[in-house]
Every structure is written in C-alpha cells, then in structure tokens.
Structure 1
C-alpha cells in the first residue's frame, strides 16, 4: 500500500497541524507581530486568563514571533487572582501603553467588583478610538459595556453578570454563548470560552494548520503519550469518518483500500472522491501520514526501539520507514529526539 517517498513531502489536512511543531518549516508569513495586553482586575479568573494566554504562547511555539503579550494592572500593586495566587503585572495601565498594543483584553472574574473609575474608562475609550481591538474575559465585557464600547455588538459574559451588562449597555446584544467574536470585540464567559475565543481569533489571522497544531497540544494533552483518535476533530461525512477510524485502528497491519471500501459500503472510486473533496488528499496518503504521525509520537514519547516503532506503524522495512520519515520531517527516524526520561 505504501509508496517509497524520495522527494520532501508536505503533510496534508489535519496531519500537518499535528506535526507542525516538528516540521521546521518557514510558512512565508510576513504579517507583523500582533501585540496583546491583558488587564488583570482584582479577583480575575486565572484559568480564563491562562487559557487565552497559553493559546498565544503555543502559537509562538509552533511558529515563533507571531504574538507578544504583556499584563497590566490598574495600579502599581500586585493583583490577587480568583485562586488566591498573587500576580505582579508587567506595568500599570495608562494611555501611553496603548501605542504598543493591537488587542487589549480586560480579565475579570466571579468576584471581580463591577466598578470602573473614570481613568480606566478613559483608557478603554481611547483604545477604541485608536482602533485597538478590545476583549473581555468572564465579566470583562461589563467594563467594555460600561464604557459604551459594546453598542451594536454581540458579546459573551458569565451568566451571573448578564443582567448587569444589559443594564449598563442597552445597545449590546448579550448572548448566552461561551464566546463571541464580533468584528473588533472579543468576549468570553468562561475559561473554555476564553480558549475557543483565542483559537478562533488566531484562525482569522493565520492558517488552519496553525490552529490544528494548537488544538493538538492544548485541547488534547494526552496526545503526548498516546495516540489521538483522528476522527474526533475532523468535520467529515459519516462514511469517511468510519474509514478514518478503521485506519486508526489498523496501523500495524494497514488495510487495503478495497477492504476499507467494502467495510463502509462504498466503491474504491467513491472513497477516493470523499477523501479528495473533504480532506484534500488521497486515502493512501492520508493513511501513510497517519502512520508517520504515530511513529513520530512513539519515537518521542516511548522507549520503543526504531524497529518496534516501524512494525507498530505498519512499515515493511527499516529502509522504507527511513525514506518515508525523512521525506516528511527532513531527517531520519534515528535522529528523532527522545523526550522520555
């Protein structure tokens, strides 16, 4: 079923995102650094903040230099998070800092008091006037609404604070959604919403492979130690999803395309058309990339020998395995970095 690969190959579809960290590629992205700032209010939700921040940091891990981040306090004192951990922001927020930002996110929490002084409101209004995108986590949207910056916008806020936001910003459309991105306003009502908000914001700025790579690391932490079921995250038709599940369950002894077609009640040609239309590749190539990806995971995160790995992933010989691996990653499997202690 495999074909020997000689020239350097590019992963297709979701397989590229799963391997993005290890491809050492230059995507040719010339877009400027996106500068983000987080205003940490007293009792802010530390999980919501870290979910958003970790998404940006992970993007930089996969492709360095995409985002910068800075934290701000309303004063010079330390800030206590909702978990009782004390955080010292990088700087005190003032108008002079706005020239260094593209996005400013207000981080609130369940116990964050809904009160904003004139100075804070002035900074938020100035940021909006300067074209800076604005965001709010947990009840952070209330502060944007109180500053009159959500009129005509859809937004998300923790359920406990929806009535308060509706009261101060009657022109805002307060939703029950976990997150909302409406033009240059980004709001989330929970930690998971903060993650999805940041992820979809990045998706609008960059390519799908980067987003899939971030998801593979953050949304599926167990992927570092055992295989991810690839059908969980792909939006495909039921027959194709079943084929992918069969492929995943049969890596050591790969099934022939005719066998896969019979199992799902389709012809070989129908199966090839489904892969082309929905995943942008061929069944054979997807199967090979699935096995190469699993081989990379096993080499990095287990103590299995190279021979054990190639057998577990259905390769017929060490030379064939080495050629396939080198074609995708640019180096032989014997050179793969072992991450187990």
Structure 2
C-alpha cells in the first residue's frame, strides 16, 4: 500500500529537518569572515559562530567560516580569552568572502585605525556584504559605509554614533538587516543576525532547523520566514495549551479535557491555533508527538514499539505509516545518534 505523503506545519518543519534537503536548500556555500578587534565580545562572536557551525552539521558545506586579525596574532577577547585567527587577512581571502563581520566590544578602541577603514572600503567596493557585532556598526559608519542604512549598535554608543555620523539611521533593535549590511547590538542579536543571514543565503528551512536545534524554547513560536516584528504573537493562553500538550505525550489529552483545564471552549482554542499558528489543535498535537518520537529514536536505544507508546501511538502500524508519511522512511530506518 502506498503511503500518502504529509507535510509538517511550518512551526514543525525545522524541528524535524524533514524539509531540509541539500539539493533544494543548499544552493551554494556561504563564505563568512569574522574580523576580531582587540577586546571583542566573545559572547557575540560565539553566538554567531554557533549558528554557522550547527548549519554545517545539518547541511554539510552550508557555510565556510574564517577568522581574521590585523596581524594574524592572537586577539584578546573581552573575557580575557585569546582567540587565534585561522587565516591571514590577504586580498585573496577578502575577495573570496560573501560577508565580512566586524567583531567589536565594550572596550574596543573607538577611533578606527586607518588600516581598518581602508579594508572596509575595499570590501564594499568588491560588493562584499558587511556586518557588525556589538559596536561593529561604529567602524562601518566611520568608514562612510552606513549612510542611509539602518543599523544596530550597543546602547552605550547609539547617541554618540548618531551625532558623529548623522547619515546613519541608528535603531534600538538588537539586530538589523538592511540590504547588504547586517548589524547586531548584543549576543542575542548576533544569534538572530546570523539566523537571518542563513535564511537569506541557504534558505528558510535550514535556518529554521538551526533555530529549532539551538533555541528550542523560542523556535516553537517563531519563524525565520520574515522579520520578528511582522510575525504573529503567540498569546499566553496558547502557550499554556502547548505546554499541556508537551507534558502529555504518552496519554494525549482530549480536546474537551484541554478546554476544561484552560477554561475556554474547544472553539475558542481552535480559533487561537488557526489565527496564531495557522493549524488546528489536533494537527499540532499530532505533529508534536511524531516530532518527539523522531527525537527519541535518534537519541536512544529504545525499541520502536516503546517509542510509539511513549508518544501516544497505541498502534505500531499506525505509527509506522504516519512516520513514513512525514519523514519519507519508516522509523526502523531512522539513524540512531546514540552509540
């Protein structure tokens, strides 16, 4: 019997990596360089780097990352931990980049050295996208490369930059993407900035998969399809409903029971799911259970029938057919990461 193929709601697509296939998503390798300035924010740098490293684990070759310094010597981070760049900063290396990110920090010297201004202008002439972490936008602006651009900058320097370079549109957001300039003002902003870049360059499904892997709590209520300000807000009540579902996988709650526990009608809950997640409660609950089943198979030695029972499937046949419909293969063929 042929199994009918089923698709995950966008909320779950990234969690399962089912929509992340290299021929469709990974069009080409994205090449990113991080230029480390003395006393750069290590937290910002690692948040951005984690996104790219995880992307390569999910889709090998998604990103090629280089770290640079002015002299190829170690650069001291703001936490007193030195980082040794992996690549000399040469014209050849620079020309090969798609994105050059300037990594600044709270104690990074404000006066841009001449070599840095020259380097940034050279990169701009070569149509390389430019980014900044913490106060990286400061150096881009002082080089004349943010005129009429929106940018994100750490709060300590927003007013000063607006006065020093009036043509720059300094924003209060933690991260801003404006054409070929992407900037962030905090570690969380650095994370979001690279998720945005990954979505633009490698596709929203891969970015969603990285988000689901690294930021599970938030990814249940977020999408990488567009700016966060345009995404629907998931209300507190709906979060409570989802929490109940997540806490009751082995013995799924009935719609009537959920409604009674939340203090709303079934119809009200259905409307919330439709308006805020564009799905039904039943479909969401089912996808939640099949998602958790896949995670359990991947990360344990549990027999398939035990996984099925643990995720609320009383029939192994139904479980296997549903699994195949969503993931394209039966649960018995799912790779196990637990050794």
When normalised by structure 2's length, the TM-score is: 0.83
1:277 CA drift (Å): 5.3
Per-residue displacement from partner, 1:56-91 (whole Å, max 9, x unpaired)? 222233333332221221113222222333322233
Which of 232, 236, 251 is residue 253 of structure 1 equivalent to?
251
Which of 34, 39, 52 is residue 56 of structure 1 equivalent to?
52
Q: Distance in 2 between matches of 1:207 and 1:239?
A: 31
Q: 2:31–2:63: 8 Å Cα contact kept in structure 1? A: yes
Are residue 120 (structure 1) and residue 116 (structure 2) matched? yes
Corresponding residue for residue 223 of structure 1: none
Larger deviation, residues 201-210 vs 99-108: 201-210
SS of match in other structure, 1:92: coil
Corresponding residue for residue 290 of structure 1: 288
Corresponding residue for residue 225 of structure 1: none
Corresponding residue for residue 228 of structure 2: none
SS of match in other structure, 2:4: coil
Corresponding residue for residue 191 of structure 1: 187
The answer for unaligned runs of 5 or more in structure 1 is 221-227
Q: 1:17–1:212: 8 Å Cα contact kept in structure 2? A: yes
Q: 1:5–1:323: 8 Å Cα contact kept in structure 2? A: no
Q: 1:46–1:81: 8 Å Cα contact kept in structure 2? A: yes
Q: Distance in 2 between matches of 1:321 and 1:301?
A: 18
Q: How does 1:247-326 map to 2 (within 5 A)?
A: 247-257=245-255, 260=258, 265-266=264-265, 275=273, 278-302=276-300, 304-326=302-324
Corresponding residue for residue 12 of structure 1: 9
Q: Distance in 2 between matches of 1:37 and 1:229?
A: 28
Corresponding residue for residue 93 of structure 2: 97
Count, aligned residues: 329
Q: Distance in 2 between matches of 1:231 and 1:99?
A: 38
Q: Distance in 1 between matches of 2:257 and 2:23?
A: 37
When normalised by structure 1's length, the TM-score is: 0.82
Q: 1:242–1:264: 8 Å Cα contact kept in structure 2? A: no
Q: Distance in 1 between matches of 2:133 and 2:2?
A: 48
* Change beyond 3 A, Cα 1:116–1:36: same
Q: Distance in 1 between matches of 2:332 and 2:65?
A: 37
Which of 70, 84, 92 is residue 66 of structure 2 equivalent to?
70
Q: Distance in 1 between matches of 2:266 and 2:248?
A: 20
CA RMSD of the aligned region, Å? 3.1
Q: How does 1:100-111 map to 2 (within 5 A)?
A: 100-111=96-107
1:134 CA drift (Å): 0.9
* Change beyond 3 A, Cα 1:35–1:316: same
Q: Distance in 2 between matches of 1:238 and 1:310?
A: 30
Are residue 160 (structure 1) and residue 156 (structure 2) matched? yes
Q: Distance in 1 between matches of 2:39 and 2:159?
A: 20
1:125 CA drift (Å): 1.0
Q: 1:94–1:123: 8 Å Cα contact kept in structure 2? A: no
Q: 1:229–1:248: 8 Å Cα contact kept in structure 2? A: no
